[in-house]
Amino acid sequence: MTTPKNMTMRDAFIGKLCERMATDDKIFFLAADLGAPALDRIRSEFPDRFINVGIAEQNLINVSAGLALEGFAVYTYAIAPFITMRAYEQVRVNLAVSSQIRPVNVTMLGLGGGVSYQVSGPTHHCLEDLAIMRLLPNMSVYCPADWVTAEALVDHTRAAIGPKYIRFDGKALPSLYANSESVDLQKGFTSLAAGTDICLVSTGFMTHRALNAARERKDVAVIDLFSLKPCDEVALAETLAPYRHVITMEEAFINNGGLDSLLTKVVREHELPCSQHPIGFNDKYVFELGSRDQLHAINDMDEPAVIRLIDKLRKG
């Protein structure tokens, strides 16, 4: 087996999108003064379908909504906390509400999910996005763990009419999937490791930690859940049925509407006989400086913390 290739999600996604723009003249790309190497190609090859709106996320969303109402498939790109929270009401009114009546094909690309901008402090950390975007009716929410999943979302988001949000990690990460075809976007999750009693259900960057932790202990299952909305909840419940304990892992605030809330709903509605254990950031912003590993360690989110929890659950 070859070593998995490291690549950023945004480069994989925008590279593929650039290819698609060559044959699909309905695709439009809007950025709020945020660049990427692959974006330079879009800017030079399709200057009439690329706009940098400047540092103006509210207008980014409003302009994208107008273009979408004129039949364009619009991709909007900005730093994750700003595209989701600075422009939340624009997203709510002109994407989520509007799309219930008229077709609005806008895909929001948020760069730097979680604490991937680790030393930039609370303004650049993005720990609320998964919960607040899930909250909006008609909105789809994706949190890929690798660039292969991100790339697979290009054709999916072009074809699926409606507003969507994709959280991109800020760092280059190794691939977890062999190719786009192995990413089941209809189901929304993939079983990456089989287990007996404990299942780690993780999203985004945390899936890498989950796999690392599962390698350290026998028979720990891992599910990479990359589509927080929609998600095939029946299939997820069936997959989770054999496990006594479910540990959710997200680089987000926990107990407030993110991945753990999705799992709580599935467990409740399907009466699954498992206990739930959320791993993520507690109800505090992160001012500490340090590497991502250090920030995770402080918050009991690194591999040793996951392994401690696994051991504790098995001791009963």
Partner 1 sequence: MTQDQLSAKARWVWSETLRMHRLAPETRVASSLSCVEIFTALYYGGLLEHKGEDPRWEGRDRLIVSKGHGSISLFPILADRGYFDKSELEKVCQAGSFLGGIPDTIIPGYETINGSLGHGIGVACGMAIGLKLKSSSNHIFVVAGDGEFCEGSMWEGVMFAAHHRLDNLTVIIDNNKLCMLDRCEKIMTVEPFERRFEAFGWQAERVDGHDMSLLHQALTQLKGRGRTGRPSVLIADTVKGNGVPELEQDSLCHIRTLTHAEIDRATGGDK
Closest approach of partner 1 to the CB of residue 230, in Å: 23
The reply to whether 138 sits near partner 1 by the rule CB under 8 A is: no
Q: Beta-strand (E) ranges in 80-121?
A: 106-111
Q: Which range binds partner 1 by CB under 8 A, 93-101, 122-130, 171-179, 272-280?
A: 93-101
12 or 108: CB nearest partner 1: 108
Mention every residue, 6+ apart, whose C-beta is less than 8 A from residue 107: 73, 74, 75, 76, 157, 163, 164, 165, 166
DSSP assignment letter at 172: -
70 or 238: CB nearest partner 1: 70
8 or 62: CB nearest partner 1: 62
H or E element, residue 157: helix 147-159
1 or 101: CB nearest partner 1: 101
Full DSSP string of 116-167: SSTTS-TTT-B-SHHHHHHHSTT-EEE--SSHHHHHHHHHHHHHS-S-EEEE
Closest approach of partner 1 to the CB of residue 28, in Å: 8
The reply to whether 94 sits near partner 1 by the rule CB under 8 A is: yes
Closest approach of partner 1 to the CB of residue 42, in Å: 15
Q: Which range binds partner 1 by CB under 8 A, 10-18, 90-98, 121-129, 151-159?
A: 90-98
Closest approach of partner 1 to the CB of residue 227, in Å: 26
Rounded to whole angstroms, how far apart are CA atoms 11 and 28? 17
Six-digit token string for 278: 């959320």
Q: Which range binds partner 1 by CB under 8 A, 95-103, 114-122, 230-238, 253-261?
A: 95-103
CB 233 within 8 A of CB 227: no
H or E element, residue 39: helix 37-45
Binders of partner 1 among residues 257 to 296 (CB under 8 A) are none
User: Which residue among 33, 97, 174, 242 contacts partner 1 (CB under 8 A)?
Assistant: 97
Burial class (CB in 10 A: 0-12, 13-18, 19+), 178: exposed
CB 295 within 8 A of CB 118: yes
Closest approach of partner 1 to the CB of residue 95, in Å: 10
Q: How many CB atoms lie within 10 A of CB 215?
A: 12
SS3 9: helix
Rounded to whole angstroms, how far apart are CA atoms 255 and 205? 19
98 or 107: CB nearest partner 1: 98
Beta bridge partners of 255: none
H or E element, residue 298: helix 292-298
Closest approach of partner 1 to the CB of residue 45, in Å: 15
Closest approach of partner 1 to the CB of residue 137, in Å: 13
16 or 86: CB nearest partner 1: 86
105 or 149: CB nearest partner 1: 105
Per-position b or e across 130-148, b if 16+ CB within 10 A of its CB: bbbbbebebbbbbbbbbbb
Closest approach of partner 1 to the CB of residue 77, in Å: 15
Binders of partner 1 among residues 46 to 65 (CB under 8 A) are 48-49, 51, 53-54, 56, 58-59, 61-65
Binding site residues, partner 1, CB under 8 A: 48-49, 51, 53-54, 56, 58-59, 61-72, 74, 89-90, 93-94, 97-98, 101-102
